[in-house]
Amino acid sequence: MDLSSPLWYASYVIVLIGLAGFGFHRLCIVFLYLKHSRKHPVPREIFTDLPLVTIQLPVFNEMHVVDRLLDSVAKLDYPQDKLQIQVLDDSTDETTEICRKGVERLRAQGFDAEMIHRDDRTGYKAGALEHGTQFAKGELLFILDADFVPNPDVLLKTVHYFSDEGIGMIQTRWGHLNRTFNVLTRIQAMFLDGHLELEQTARNRSGRFFTFNGTAGIWRKSCIADAGGWEHDTLTEDMDLSYRAQLKGWRFIFLNEVETPAELPVDMDGFKSQQHRWTKGSIQVCKKVLPAIWKSKVPLYVKMEATAHLTSNFAYLLLICLCFLIYPNQQAAPDFGSWTIYVINIPIFFFASVSVVVFYITAQRALRPDAWWKELPYLPLLLALGIGMSINNAKAVIEALFNHQSGFVRTPKYGVGQMAKADWKKSSYKAMKTLTPVVELMFGFFFLFVVVEAAMKNNWLSAILLLPFPVGFFYTSLSSMARLLPSGRVPSDSTADNTTES
C-alpha cells in the first residue's frame, strides 16, 4: 500500500489505541494506590521467641560489592543465634576468595556462616537458591543480591508478619544507594519508584497478585516447596515462583515503609542487559502461568490485573510498530476535521502519554513529599529513555515469543559509593555488547529527519511531540557506544566472564 492508503492511518490508530490501553492500566494503578495505600498491614501477633532466619546471598563475580554486603549483614539487629548466613557463590574470579575470607570473618564474630560454592552453574541464580535451600536451617529465607545493603532493623520490621501461617512472602521496597550518581541512575530510580511504590502497593493492598522482586524479600521455606520450588525455565524465576505460590493460596505482603537500599546500574549497557532479562523473563512467565491463572478460581478482577501485568511488556512491540507508522501518518493522514482531534488524538495522547507523567509524579510525591518537584525536569528524559529502550526490549519480547534461549545476563555492579566516580570504568566487569546500539542510532537519525521536516513545514506541535524519539534513541545508542572509546575502554582481564546474574 502507498503512503496515501487509509490502511496506514488505521494501523497507526490501532497501535495508539493499544498503547493507550496500557496507559489506562497505569491510571488504574494510580487509582488503586490512592484508594488503598493507607491500608497498612499489621502483624497478627509479635513473636515472643524470634524465628530462625537463613540469609541467602546469591553471588556471581561480585568482587566490588560482596564485602560491603557481608559487612551489612553482620550489622543486622537480630539475635546472632537466630541467624544462618549462606553465601551461595557461583563465581569464576577472585570473588570466591573474597567470599571465603568474608565467611571466615563472620565465623570469627560468632555467626553461623557458610560458603556454598558451585562449579556447575545449572539454573544460574534459581539453581543456586534451590541448592542452598537444601541446607537452610531456618523456615524463613531472607534473600539479598550482592549489590544490596540492608538496614540493621529490616528483620525486626518484617519477621513478625510470619506469625500468620498463611503468609508465604514479604517484600520490602528497594532504595537507591547511588540515585544521584548520574542522569541514568536518576531516571532508573524514577522507573523503579513507580513500580515499587505504586504498582506493588496498589496490587497488594487491593487484593491483587503481586510478585517477589528477586531480592530484599523473605520467603517461608514451606511456601517455596508447596509451590514447586525454584524453577529455572524462565529468566525471572522470582516472578514465576510468586504466581505459582499465590495460585496455591499463599498470601504475600508488600511493606513499602521498609526500605532496603541497593546499587543501580551506572552504565547504559548494564541497564540494557538488566531490562532485556526482566522483559524477556516476564513474557516467558506470561506464557507459562497465564493459562493457569485463568483456569483458577481467583476473582475475575485478580485475573484481569494479572493479565495486564504479565502482558505489559508487549507495549514495546507496539512502540516499535508506532515508529514505522509515524512517518506515513505525517505524510498522508486523512483529514476528518475537528472529529480527529477531539475523538481520536486528544484521548489517545492522554492515555498513552499523560498517564505516564501522572504515574511517575504520583510515585515521587508519595516517596518525596517535600522535594518531589525536583524530579520534574527528568520526566522528559524518562519518556525519551522509555522510547529509546524500545528496540532492546522489543527484541527481548520477540526472543521470548519464539523460545530463543539465552543465559541469565548479569548486571555488572561496581560498588560506586566505595570508589572514585570514574574508577568504575576501569573495572573488568562489563555488560555484553550487541548490535542494538547501531540500530538505535539509525532510528535516531530517522526521527531527527522526521522532527526537522515537521518543523520546516511549521508543524511545530508534531515536532515537539516527536522530539523524545530522536533524543531517546540517540541517548541509548551513544551511551552504549561511548564505552568503546579509548577513555572508557575496559582493560582486558581474565575475569571478563560476566554474562550471568543480577
Residue 322 has pLDDT above 50, yes or no: yes
**For residue 394, what is its C-alpha cell?**
522489543
- CA proximity to 214, closest of 185, 194, 232, 236: 236
Q: Which residue has the higher pLDDT, 384 or 435?
A: 384
Q: Is the dihedral of CA 152, 115, 178, 256 positive or negative?
A: negative
Residue 78 has pLDDT above 80, yes or no: yes
* CA–CA separation, 329 and 336 (whole Å): 13
Residue 168 has pLDDT above 60, yes or no: yes
Find cell 557461583 and name the residue.
Answer: 90
- % pLDDT > 70, the chain: 86
DSSP state at residue 353: I
Residue 410 has pLDDT above 80, yes or no: no
Tell me the chain's radius of gyration from C-alpha atoms: 23
Neighbours of 223 (CB within 10 A): 24
Among the listed ranges 337-346, 383-392, 472-481, which one has the minimum average pLDDT value? 337-346
- Candidate list 67, 93, 147, 238, residue with the active-site label: 238
Q: Are 379 and 263 in contact (CB under 8 A)?
A: no
Residue 393 has pLDDT above 90, yes or no: yes
Among the listed ranges 335-339, 399-403, 461-465, which one has the minimum average pLDDT value? 335-339
Residue 251 has pLDDT above 50, yes or no: yes
- CA proximity to 25, closest of 214, 208, 279: 208
Q: Is 90 a catalytic residue?
A: yes
pLDDT band at 245 (very low <50, low <70, confident <90, very high): very high
* CA–CA separation, 492 and 64 (whole Å): 17
Q: Is the dihedral of CA 133, 135, 139, 140 positive or negative?
A: negative
pLDDT at site 227: 97
Beta strands in 245-354 (DSSP E): 251-262
Q: Is 153 a catalytic residue?
A: no
* CA–CA separation, 272 and 170 (whole Å): 28
Read off the pLDDT of each residue in 379-396 and give the average, rounded to a whole number: 94
> DSSP 3-state assignment of 84?
strand
**For residue 359, what is its C-alpha cell?**
504515574
Question: In what order do the strands lie in the sheet containing 140-143?
Answer: 112-117, 83-89, 53-59, 140-143, 217-220, 167-176, 251-262
Q: Which residue has the higher pLDDT, 497 or 473?
A: 473
Read off the pLDDT of each residue in 219-248 and give the average, rounded to a whole number: 96
- CA proximity to 70, closest of 110, 102, 115, 113: 102
What does the angle CA 217 – CA 226 – CA 229 come to, to the nearest 5 degrees? 65
Residue 40 has pLDDT above 60, yes or no: yes
- Residue 322 CA, chain-centre distance (Å), reads 24
Q: 53-59 and 83-89: which strand pairing?
A: parallel
Residue 441 has pLDDT above 60, yes or no: yes
- Candidate list 90, 145, 193, 240, residue with the active-site label: 90
Query: How high is the mean pLDDT of the chain?
Result: 88
Residue 13 has pLDDT above 70, yes or no: yes
Which residues 6+ apart lie within 8 Å of 112 measured at CB?
81, 83, 84, 85, 137
Q: Which amino acid is at 485?
A: L
Read off the pLDDT of each residue in 212-219 and give the average, rounded to a whole number: 97
Read off the pLDDT of each residue in 44-72 and give the average, rounded to a whole number: 95
> DSSP 3-state assignment of 165?
coil
Q: Which amino acid is at 250?
A: W
Residue 384 has pLDDT above 90, yes or no: yes
pLDDT band at 336 (very low <50, low <70, confident <90, very high): low
pLDDT band at 460 (very low <50, low <70, confident <90, very high): confident
Residue 491 has pLDDT above 70, yes or no: no
Q: Biggest alpha carbon distance in the chain?
A: 78
pLDDT at site 335: 60
Which residues 6+ apart lie within 8 Å of 198 measured at CB?
29, 30, 33, 359, 362, 363, 366
pLDDT at site 457: 86
